[in-house]
Structure 1
């Protein structure tokens, strides 16, 4: 039997949680601390629930508390056994702060979360790095937060959710990207609150009925934001800025770029700031995480899709630990040659996040 080489892993989507909302209180400014102490930490309120839950039952901390809330147990249960060199922490809750109506409260929650994870998770292991959270309702406050803690060596990116009131390429958000570029931080876009709070509906035709439809249609959001990033000139304006599309699927990318390139050739006068084909900007500025990767019945079909874009240089491994659709890094993509596996499982992320 052939032995599977245990390649080093940089996991670009590991979800950590608070033990309870009380964890955040010491890091919140007033008057928000008193509000949170009395009424709890607000959420954007996603109108869908998974019929199977959204966490692995075997990941429950033995000492109690929510799944993903114990940094020591995460090391024991996942990071060390799976040869994870770095686990990049992505908040389960605070990426959705942009869905709250109160922009000041949302910004305060993000500041508190960022300070909490730096104080209580990062010191637990040098394997932990983190994405900082920002609230996008007020770009000026978001920029102040990036400037405040963006230089911290354990912060490797700025995270937002796919839920939004407008496409992310629009000029309203550009100050955020200028700050990201100034600090050398990629923007990581992760789903979780599409259709919640003050966000637009999660699909182009409105709210769907259930979690199955919501989860399946998340790629629509990623497509719309990607087209906006390119066509609104973000990558021409900020040539060193990078974007990671996290947990939004993979194989929709080639046909979208074929369509976009074709339309650009006829309609380029509407985007005179673009100097190259849209697909060329995407190849240089966009990264995509592997989980949840589409898995056709015939594996050759997925291999063919990988040939249709620069998969070996654009893909970043992610497990989505400890969620229900966790991808085991010792089992996925083993049909790829080892040099390509090594790029996807660690080297692309090492370069992008300057690890």
Structure 2
């Protein structure tokens, strides 16, 4: 049995996936002509070119109501949130998260507006434990900024969510108006994987397309490395000193060697980024967070302890379960080796501070 203090430790889960009940959920929230198009053809998505051979959901997460997995807020509370002492479940819909890979920027922006209205109307009122990330489409930063201005004042919206797949690294100045709006409203930007290589996005790895889900899933850190180096070297955190970024569901142990390499190169090549006033790793420690799921689990757990010592893990990590996906992390089982105070920071306090909960 776990100790009582471990059983009662509060959890703020930074990656809980809600779904639609059916294809018509967004229709009441869509304007024309998008409503008619979605009614006839369904909600568009860039999709992902890789299918998991084990499926995408936990087999025990099917609601008794017969609704799709992740679409029944009452069952989510009963099955996961309440039994695991989840103080807040931060909702991230993978029903539309890949919409930035859709070719039509106006349609994509309309779908994001509809989803944001939908989650506010149909999820937040069910329980005060539900908070969420607004979705914006990255094809048109001007429309993304307008959506941030519209939705950011809602008290249950705690971040802006975008997909890892992209046509250019996220440090590019094309995206800076979005970050300015995030900073203005004190909302972190959360980057989540899911459609790399789909739609109008670039290939999912640095050398092109791989042939199966195993390779795609393993190589996801490449996406995060590219975005992170770009955000730092393009001066985003110097330009927007209060802006924060969460790298969600991309692993964590790749970070220390990447920062070693970046710092080393910067010492000789700092003229490439004259706007940087500090070492790159310092910006990352002050502005970036990572989620625990999927945590790398080496056979020798002491090696994971060593990796945690190589970066500011206790202050940079946020707990996430990825519920109700197949690779769900049980909050009563992971990171049990950590001292209680460090675990408390990762499981709730870092997120409480970052998301102002």
Separation of aligned partners in 1, 2:2 and 2:293: 25
Q: Which residue of structure 1 lines up, in the alignment, with residue 193 of structure 2?
A: 191
Tell me, yes or no, if structure 1 residue 121 matches structure 2 residue 123. Answer: yes
Q: Which residue of structure 1 lines up, in the alignment, with residue 303 of structure 2?
A: 301
Shift of 1:45: 2.3
- What TM-score comes out, normalization by structure 1 length? 0.99
Mapping of residues 335-354 of structure 1, within 5 Å? 335-354=337-356
Shift of 1:93: 2.1
Separation of aligned partners in 1, 2:254 and 2:39: 44
Mapping of residues 271-286 of structure 1, within 5 Å? 271-286=273-288
Q: Could you list the structure 1 runs, at least 4 aligned residues long, displaced by more than 3 angstroms after superposition.
A: none
Separation of aligned partners in 2, 1:24 and 1:337: 44
Tell me the SS of whatever aligns to 2:70. coil
Q: Which residue of structure 2 lines up, in the alignment, with residue 90 of structure 1?
A: 92
Separation of aligned partners in 2, 1:194 and 1:132: 20
- What TM-score comes out, normalization by structure 2 length? 0.99
Shift of 1:66: 1.2
- Please give the per-residue CA displacement for 1:74-130, whole angstroms capped at 9, x wherever unaligned: 000000000000000001122211000000000000000000000000000000000
Q: Which residue of structure 2 lines up, in the alignment, with residue 47 of structure 1?
A: 49
Separation of aligned partners in 2, 1:93 and 1:277: 38
Mapping of residues 219-238 of structure 1, within 5 Å? 219-238=221-240
Task: Choose which of 251, 264, 282 in structure 1 pairs with 2:253.
Answer: 251
Contact 2:47 2:98 in 1 (8 A): no
Separation of aligned partners in 2, 1:3 and 1:121: 33
Separation of aligned partners in 2, 1:148 and 1:117: 14
Q: CA RMSD in A?
A: 0.7
Tell me the SS of whatever aligns to 1:23. coil
Tell me the SS of whatever aligns to 1:188. strand
Tell me the SS of whatever aligns to 1:91. coil
- Please give the per-residue CA displacement for 1:10-44, whole angstroms capped at 9, x wherever unaligned: 00000000011101100001000000101111110
Q: Which residue of structure 1 lines up, in the alignment, with residue 3 of structure 2?
A: 3
Mapping of residues 168-207 of structure 1, within 5 Å? 168-207=170-209
- Please give the per-residue CA displacement for 1:178-209, whole angstroms capped at 9, x wherever unaligned: 00000000000000000000000000000100
Most deviating of 3-12 and 20-29:
3-12
Separation of aligned partners in 2, 1:347 and 1:334: 17
Separation of aligned partners in 2, 1:170 and 1:43: 24
In the comparison of the two structures, how many residue pairs are matched? 355
Q: Which residue of structure 2 lines up, in the alignment, with residue 242 of structure 1?
A: 244
Separation of aligned partners in 1, 2:154 and 2:297: 38
Contact 2:244 2:287 in 1 (8 A): yes
Q: Which residue of structure 2 lines up, in the alignment, with residue 137 of structure 1?
A: 139
